[in-house]
């Protein structure tokens, strides 16, 4: 429970002492629905809002220029909003464990607040800061606002283990207390008695750095398709709600060519950086649905984007190995191929399949792709065509995708590669047919792969089938100006489906020791137990390499199969 790790104290607990407070922004880059900041201000004499540029993150090669630009724009927007209420943002360079002891002393700090971080790395970092604060006599105020629910409560409700299917997760949240309402926005009226000491050289000391100052080459960098910041997020939210009510009447819109392009109503990067509160989004959706549907209760499907996010956060929160195969108890240990050359072709949009290459080009240029386009390129890299580990694809998305989120990114890649959560390995996305059904004319291809602009719609998804005269007329010879397909999709997908089939057969019935091992675990009171007894099984069956668990519920549609390869070696 969060309260056990981070004692939550009321602001009044410091009595008549002069309270100088720091609010530490990490995610949650907003003034609306920021309960930690709001509580921190109460009764305080001074406030400094800080953002720490951790050199470990700043120097990381796996964060691309579009993600950095989005973050810096978020910080600039936050600073502008704070200026309007007579405050400022203090951007500080350094490691948090080095920065805070100095700030506690220099600024005579008595209170530190921040938004709860549910991810394992964040919890470890925050525990270290909590210890430093305690040693310095600084109270720490932590509030949950990046997720809809307290994830520890969901896990507690599930018998101490995270739910491993989305259906199970939905059943659990139906038993949870309602989502808490967003708190009021921080305004001048709220903050006016809490001063921010600002020096004349504030911009030099604590200003938001530029991309150039961080070492990025910006010549030729195109205008941001997704401007960062809370201001933009709130405008997009209003447009999103208008579109949702008018266009779709709360039904899933049909895919078309325009669906593949960045939308002025898109919200995912803003939710990821916390420029937009998930709770505000949740209640805005609820209110609008009730107006349109005359006060009927909204279905859970209305909140699909938010709930899938919440599901992956829940499954990842206590699993520091969630982003890798090794040591990850929820991931099937599939023997993927290592092929750096093929990986590079995929990542750089040089596969020879225009649909795949256009998607990867859009991702690199703009930092966003439609969720079904993500499905297509993830399937192509992993179980569909190239048989390369989902870990490699996850790293590319982490670099390029604005909304890449540790929990959601890793969970999605495990899901799409059939490594966890989903075992329908016989379903593959065709790198020709899927795009053609979505955009028959090929306008999306022409936009992101102008070299193919001259091809007629008949050949634009498979230009290698075009006669020589058509290629010459299009001024693009396949194999010269645009690469030939790197694999035979029909053959590769057939082989890979068979590979996956064999892996799951081995998992379901292991005969390596001349015996069959099948373990059925039943859902009792809705509690999934297979990870709980995982360590016990390892002790009892030390000669077993693979186990298959079938978790059966009381109803047929509750039955799921979860395969787990344990990689246990004989003593």
Lowest mean pLDDT among 55-69, 210-224, 331-345, 408-422: 55-69
Say if CB 316 and CB 119 are below 8 A apart. Answer: yes
Say if CB 133 and CB 140 are below 8 A apart. Answer: yes
3-state SS, 372-426, equals HHHHHHHHHHHHHCCCECHHHHHHHHHHHCCCCCHHHHHHHHHHHCCCCCCCCCC
- Span 58-66, average pLDDT: 75
- Do the bridges between strand 46-53 and strand 560-565 make them parallel or antiparallel, or are there none, so unpaired? unpaired
Q: What is the reported pLDDT for 571?
A: 29
Q: What is the reported pLDDT for 258?
A: 82
C-alpha span between 333 and 546 (Å, rounded): 10
Lowest mean pLDDT among 23-32, 57-66, 370-379, 453-462: 57-66
Say if CB 323 and CB 406 are below 8 A apart. Answer: yes
Lowest mean pLDDT among 66-80, 102-116, 512-526: 512-526
Half-sphere exposure of 293 (CA within 13 A, CB side): 18
- Span 192-201, average pLDDT: 94
Decide which of 297 and 490 is more confident. 490
* Torsion 384-317-127-406 (CA) sign: positive
Say if CB 172 and CB 300 are below 8 A apart. Answer: no
C-alpha span between 316 and 121 (Å, rounded): 11
Please report whether residue 374 resides in a domain: yes
Contacts of 470 (CB under 8 A, 6+ apart): 455, 456, 459
Confidence of residue 60 (pLDDT cuts 50, 70, 90): low
Q: Which tens digit of pLDDT belongs to each residue from 495-510? A: 999 999 888 888 765 4
Confidence of residue 130 (pLDDT cuts 50, 70, 90): very high
Q: What is the reported pLDDT for 59?
A: 57
How far, CA to CA in Å, does 239 sit from each of 153, 243, 284, 444, 499? 34, 6, 12, 24, 46
What is the extent of the structural domain holding 69?
20-146+185-193
Last residue of a domain, one of 443, 460, 489: 489
Last residue of a domain, one of 489, 516, 547: 489
Enclosing H/E stretch for 190: helix 188-191
Q: List the CATH number of the domain containing 102.
A: 3.40.50.620
Q: What is the reported pLDDT for 454?
A: 98
Please report whether residue 481 resides in a domain: yes
Please report whether residue 308 resides in a domain: no
Lowest mean pLDDT among 224-238, 264-278, 552-566: 552-566
Please report whether residue 200 resides in a domain: no
- 125 pLDDT above the threshold of 50: yes
Extended strands (E) in 15-164: 20-25, 46-53, 89-93, 111-115, 139-143
Q: What is the reported pLDDT for 299?
A: 77
Which residue has tokens 């805070």? 100
- 261 pLDDT above the threshold of 80: yes
Please report whether residue 68 resides in a domain: yes
Please report whether residue 516 resides in a domain: no
- 298 pLDDT above the threshold of 90: no
Last residue of a domain, one of 489, 516, 548: 489
Q: What is the reported pLDDT for 463?
A: 98
- 18 pLDDT above the threshold of 80: no
C-alpha span between 126 and 123 (Å, rounded): 5
Q: What is the reported pLDDT for 509?
A: 54
Q: List the CATH number of the domain containing 477.
A: 1.10.579.10
Record the tokens describing residue 298, joined without a space: 């909204």
Q: What are phi and psi of 142, to 5 degrees?
A: -125, 135
- Do the bridges between strand 89-93 and strand 46-53 make them parallel or antiparallel, or are there none, so unpaired? parallel
- What is the rounded end-to-end Cα distance, in angstroms, of the chain? 37
Q: Which tens digit of pLDDT belongs to each residue from 87-119? A: 999 999 999 999 999 999 999 999 999 999 999
- Span 385-395, average pLDDT: 98
- Span 456-468, average pLDDT: 98
Kindly report the average pLDDT of the chain as a whole number: 85
- Span 364-368, average pLDDT: 97
Lowest mean pLDDT among 113-127, 387-401, 422-436, 508-522: 508-522
307 annotated ligand binder = yes
Confidence of residue 300 (pLDDT cuts 50, 70, 90): confident
Decide which of 559 and 48 is more confident. 48
Please report whether residue 242 resides in a domain: no
The total domain count for the chain is 2
Q: What is the reported pLDDT for 388?
A: 98
Alpha helices in 464-548 (DSSP H): 468-473, 489-508, 534-540
* Torsion 546-552-558-559 (CA) sign: positive
- 541 pLDDT above the threshold of 70: no
312 annotated ligand binder = yes
Q: What is the reported pLDDT for 304?
A: 87
How far, CA to CA in Å, does 87 sit from each of 46, 47, 69, 229? 10, 8, 23, 17
Confidence of residue 242 (pLDDT cuts 50, 70, 90): confident
Lowest mean pLDDT among 261-265, 376-380, 426-430, 522-526: 522-526
Please report whether residue 468 resides in a domain: yes
Confidence of residue 539 (pLDDT cuts 50, 70, 90): very low
Say if CB 103 and CB 138 are below 8 A apart. Answer: no
309 annotated ligand binder = yes
| Angle between helix 354-366 and 390-400 (nearest 10) | 40
Long-range contacts at 6-10 (CB < 8 A, ≥ 24 apart): 6/116, 6/126, 6/130, 6/140, 6/142, 7/140, 8/141, 8/142, 8/143, 9/139, 9/140, 9/141
347 annotated ligand binder = no
403 annotated ligand binder = yes
29 annotated ligand binder = no
- Span 46-60, average pLDDT: 81
Say if CB 117 and CB 25 are below 8 A apart. Answer: no
Q: Over pLDDT 90: what percentage of the chain?
A: 72
Q: What is the pTM of this model?
A: 0.86
Q: What is the reported pLDDT for 369?
A: 97
Q: What is the reported pLDDT for 556?
A: 29
C-alpha span between 410 and 313 (Å, rounded): 10
Which residue has tokens 């995270």? 162
Q: Which tens digit of pLDDT belongs to each residue from 414-428? A: 999 999 986 666 678
C-alpha span between 5 and 149 (Å, rounded): 17
Number of neighbours of residue 10 by Cβ within 10 angstroms: 11
- Span 442-467, average pLDDT: 98
Say if CB 6 and CB 116 are below 8 A apart. Answer: yes
Q: Which residues pair with 55 in a beta bridge?
A: none
- 566 pLDDT above the threshold of 60: no
C-alpha span between 446 and 357 (Å, rounded): 11
Q: What is the reported pLDDT for 512?
A: 37
Q: Which tens digit of pLDDT belongs to each residue from 398-411? A: 999 999 999 999 99
- Do the bridges between strand 139-143 and strand 46-53 make them parallel or antiparallel, or are there none, so unpaired? unpaired
């Amino acid at each position: 429970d969060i309260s056990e790790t981070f004692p939550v104290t009321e602001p009044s607990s410091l009595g008549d002492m002069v309270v100088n407070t720091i609010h530490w922004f990490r995610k949650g880059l907003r003034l609306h629905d920021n309960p930690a900041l709001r509580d921190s201000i109460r009764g305080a004499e001074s406030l400094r809002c800080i953002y720490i540029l951790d050199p470990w993150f700043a120097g990381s090669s796996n964060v691309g220029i579009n993600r950095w630009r989005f973050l810096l724009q978020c910080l600039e927007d936050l600073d502008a909003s704070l200026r309007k209420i007579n405050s400022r943002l203090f951007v500080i360079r350094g490691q948090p464990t080095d920065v805070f002891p100095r700030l506690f002393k220099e600024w005579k700090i008595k209170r530190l607040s921040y938004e709860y971080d549910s991810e394992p790395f964040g919890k470890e970092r925050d525990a270290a800061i909590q210890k430093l604060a305690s040693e310095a006599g600084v109270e720490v105020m932590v509030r949950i606002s990046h997720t809809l629910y307290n994830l520890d409560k969901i896990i507690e409700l599930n018998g101490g283990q995270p739910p491993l299917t989305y259906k199970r997760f939905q059943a659990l949240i139906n038993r949870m207390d309602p989502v808490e309402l967003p708190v009021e926005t921080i305004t001048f009226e709220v903050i006016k008695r809490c001063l921010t000491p600002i020096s004349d050289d504030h911009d030099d000391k604590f200003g938001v750095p530029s991309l150039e100052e961080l070492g990025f080459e910006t010549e030729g960098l195109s205008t941001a398709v997704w401007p960062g910041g809370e201001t933009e997020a709130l405008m997009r939210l209003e447009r999103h709600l208008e579109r949702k009510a008018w266009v779709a009447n709360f039904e899933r819109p049909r895919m078309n060519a325009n669906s593949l392009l960045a939308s002025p109503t898109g919200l995912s990067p803003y939710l990821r950086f916390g420029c937009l509160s998930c709770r505000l989004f949740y209640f805005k959706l609820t209110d609008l649905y009730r107006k349109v549907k005359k006060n009927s209760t909204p279905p859970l499907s209305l909140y699909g984007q938010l709930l899938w996010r919440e599901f992956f956060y829940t499954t990842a929160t206590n699993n520091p190995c969630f982003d890798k195969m090794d040591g990850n108890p929820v991931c099937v240990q599939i023997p993927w191929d290592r092929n750096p050359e093929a990986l590079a072709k995929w990542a750089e949009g040089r596969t020879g399949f225009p649909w795949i290459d256009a998607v990867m080009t859009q991702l690199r240029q703009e930092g966003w792709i439609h969720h079904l386009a993500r499905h297509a390129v993830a399937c192509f890299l992993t179980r569909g065509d190239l048989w390369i580990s989902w870990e490699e694809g996850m790293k590319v998305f982490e670099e390029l995708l604005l909304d890449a989120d540790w929990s959601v990114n890793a969970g999605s890649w495990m899901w799409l590669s059939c490594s966890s959560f989903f075992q329908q390995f016989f379903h593959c996305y065709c790198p020709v047919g899927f795009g053609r059904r979505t955009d028959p004319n090929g306008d999306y291809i022409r936009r992101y792969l102008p070299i193919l602009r001259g091809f007629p719609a008949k050949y634009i998804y498979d230009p290698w089938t075009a006669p020589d005269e058509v290629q010459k007329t299009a001024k693009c010879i396949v194999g010269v100006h645009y690469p030939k397909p790197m694999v035979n999709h029909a053959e590769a997908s057939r082989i890979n489906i068979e590979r996956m089939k064999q892996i799951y057969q081995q998992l379901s019935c292991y005969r390596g020791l001349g015996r069959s091992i099948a373990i059925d675990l039943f859902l009792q009171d809705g509690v999934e137990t297979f990870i709980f007894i995982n360590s016990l099984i390892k002790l009892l069956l030390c000669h077993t390499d693979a186990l298959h668990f079938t978790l059966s519920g009381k109803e047929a549609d509750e039955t799921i199969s979860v395969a787990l390869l344990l990689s246990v070696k004989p003593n």
